[in-house]
Amino acid sequence: MTRRQFLALSAAIAAWTPAVAGQAPRIQPGRLRARLEMLSTFGRPDGGTFSDGVSRVAYSDADVAARAWLMDELRGAGLAPRIDPAGNIFARVEGRDPARPPIVFGSHIDTVPNGGNFDGSLGTLAALEVLESLAAAKWTTRHPLELVVWAHEEGVAFTQGLSGSRIVAGDVPDDVLERTWNGMTRAEALRRIGGAPERLRDAVRAPGAHHCYLELHIEQGGTLDTRKVPIGIVTGIVAIHRHEVRVTGMANHAGTTPMDQRQDALIAAARGVLAVRAVGAARQGPQVATVGRLDVVPNAPNVIPGEVTFTVELRDLSEDLLALMADEIRERLDLIAQETGTTMAMRQVSRNPAAAAAPRVQEAIIAAAGDEGLAALRLPSGAGHDAQMMARLGPMGMIFVPSVGGVSHAPAEFTSWDDCARGAQVLLVAVLAADARDTMV
C-alpha cells in the first residue's frame, strides 16, 4: 500500500460510523455458491467443468436459457420479476415508505466469449441473496429495493456495451434498432430476451428516480489480491471509447501477385495494431489501448486480403486524453495507409463516459465493511460497468472483491468463495446503510 493510499484509507476509516452495528441479517454463502455453479452451466463448453468458464454472449441461446433459469430462481424466492422494454430484468420489493425512490442493485449475466464465472454473475446473484436474506429475517427497509439484471453489458454484440443500462439512462439513438450483428437486428435481439423494441423509450428512467445504485463486482485487476485486502471501494470508472478502422486494399491472387505489387489490407492492419499499442504505451499513466477484434475479408489462405476491419478500444479516466490518443492513432494510420497503398478510415462507434462514485455511497460501503470487520481500499475501475450509466441518473457506488491473480475475461477468472460471500454481505449492509439516509446526494 502506498503512503497516499494508506492515508486515504485511514481517513475513510476515521469517518466510519457503524451502518447497522452488527445487527444485519446474514447472507447464505452456500446458496450463493450453488447458484454461481448452476449459472456457470449455461454456456459451458461441451464436456467442460466450472473451471472451463463460459461463453454466454448476450442474445445467444445460452444467454436466453440462463435468463429463463434466473427468472425461475427469482420467482422461487417469492419475487415477481419483470422484463423492461430494453430486456433488463427488475424485481422490486416495496419499502415501508412507498413515496421514497428505490435503492437499485444488481449486475449482468452475459459474458465475453470464453469468459469467466464471476464477472457480472457474482453481483447479480449476490443481489438476489440480499433480497432473500432480508426477507428471511423479515427485515423491511424504508426505501423500496430493486434488483436489476442488466441486459447485454459486455458489448460483444453490436460492438456497444452497457446496452440495457444505457437505454435506462436515456441514451437511445434513433438508429439503435436497425444495427445488425450476427445476422440479427437489434430489435430481433431484444425480442429474443423478452424486450419490447417498439416501446424502447418506456425503459428510460428520469434522473433522481433512484435513491442510489449499488453494484458488487469482481475487481478484474490484481490490486486487492496483491495487497490482500478483501473489499474495494470504487472511486470512479474509466471512460471507454471504441473505434472501428476499415482498411481497404486490393484482393488478389496469393500465388501470382508479386510481393512488391500488393495492396494487402492485413499487412496495413497489422502495422495499425502495433501503432495502437505504441500510442497506448507512449506516456506514463494508466491509459490503455487495445485491438481485440479483426475481421479479414475474404479470409482465405490463397487470397491477399482486400479488406480488414478492426476495433480500437481506448480507456482512461480522462476523456480528453482518449480524444488525443485517437488523433495520434489516426495520424499514424494515415502514414501506414500511404506506405501500403491502402486506405484506413477510423470512426468512433461507442463511448462509455467516465463516472465518479458518489461520496455518500462510498461512505455507506466503508461503513458496511467496517461493520463486518473487513479492511477496505479505495481504487478506480479499469473495467466498464453498468454503474457508469446509472451515475447519470443519481448517486452510484461499487464494491469490488479480489480477482485471484488479477485474471478476468478468461476461464481462469476466480474469486474465492469466502471473498464472494464477504462481498455479498457487504452489499447487504451497504444497502441498509443507504436506507438509513434520506438522501445520498
**Which residue ranges make up the site for ligand GLV (CB under 6 A)?**
154, 383-384
CB of 415 to ligand GLV, least distance (A): 15
Partner from ligand GLV, Mn ion, none contacting 225, C-beta within 5 to 8 A by type = none
Between 143 and 400, name the residue whose CB sits nearer to Mn ion.
Answer: 400
Residues forming the site for Mn ion (CB under 5 A): 119-120
Which CB atom, from 382 or from 394, has the smaller least distance to ligand GLV?
Answer: 382
Residue 220 Cβ, how far from Mn ion at the closest point, in Å?
7
**Amino acid identity at 410:** A
Q: How far is the CB of 77 from ligand GLV (least distance, A)?
A: 27
> Which cell numbers in the block locate residue 132?
432473500
Phi and psi at residue 290, in whole multiples of 5°? -140, 135
The interface partner of residue 384, options being Mn ion, ligand GLV, none and the CB cut-off 5 to 8 Å by kind, is: ligand GLV
Distance CA 211, CA 433 (A): 12
Question: What is the closest distance, in whole angstroms, from the C-beta atom of residue 383 to ligand GLV in the complex?
Answer: 4
* Residue 284, amino acid: Q
106 binds, among ligand GLV, Mn ion, none (CB under 5 to 8 A by kind): none
We find the least distance from the C-beta atom of residue 113 to ligand GLV, in angstroms, to be 13
Closer CB to ligand GLV, residue 148 or residue 251?
148
Q: Write the single-letter amino acid at 167.
A: I
Residue among 105 and 150 whose Cβ is closer to ligand GLV? 150
- Cβ distance to ligand GLV smaller for residue 311 or 425: 311
| Residue 171, contacted partner among ligand GLV, Mn ion, none, CB below 5-8 A by kind | none
Q: Of 379, 397, 426, 441, whose CA–CA distance to 8 is shortest? A: 379
Which of Mn ion, ligand GLV, none lies near 221, with the C-beta cut-off 5 to 8 A by kind? none
DSSP string over 273-304 = HHHHHHHHHSSSSS-EEE---EEEES--TTEE
How far apart CA 91 and CA 58 sit, in angstroms, is: 20
- Least Cα distance to 9 among 434, 362, 422 occurs for 362
What number of helices (H) and strands (E) belong to the chain? 12, 18
Q: Which of Mn ion, ligand GLV, none lies near 272, with the C-beta cut-off 5 to 8 A by kind?
A: none
Sign for the pseudo-dihedral over CA of 161, 164, 168, 174? positive
d(CA 421, CA 401): 10
Q: CB of residue 409 vs Mn ion: minimum separation in angstroms?
A: 6
- In the complex, minimum distance from the CB of residue 385 to Mn ion, in angstroms, rounded to a whole number: 6
Q: Which is nearer to ligand GLV, 154 or 371 (CB)?
A: 154
φ/ψ of residue 170, rounded to 5? 95, 5
Nearer to Mn ion among residue 119 and residue 171 (C-beta): 119
Residue 371 binds which one of ligand GLV, Mn ion, none, with CB within 5 to 8 A depending on kind?
Answer: none
Quote the cell numbers at residue 71: 427468472
How many whole angstroms separate alpha carbon 436 and alpha carbon 371? Answer: 14
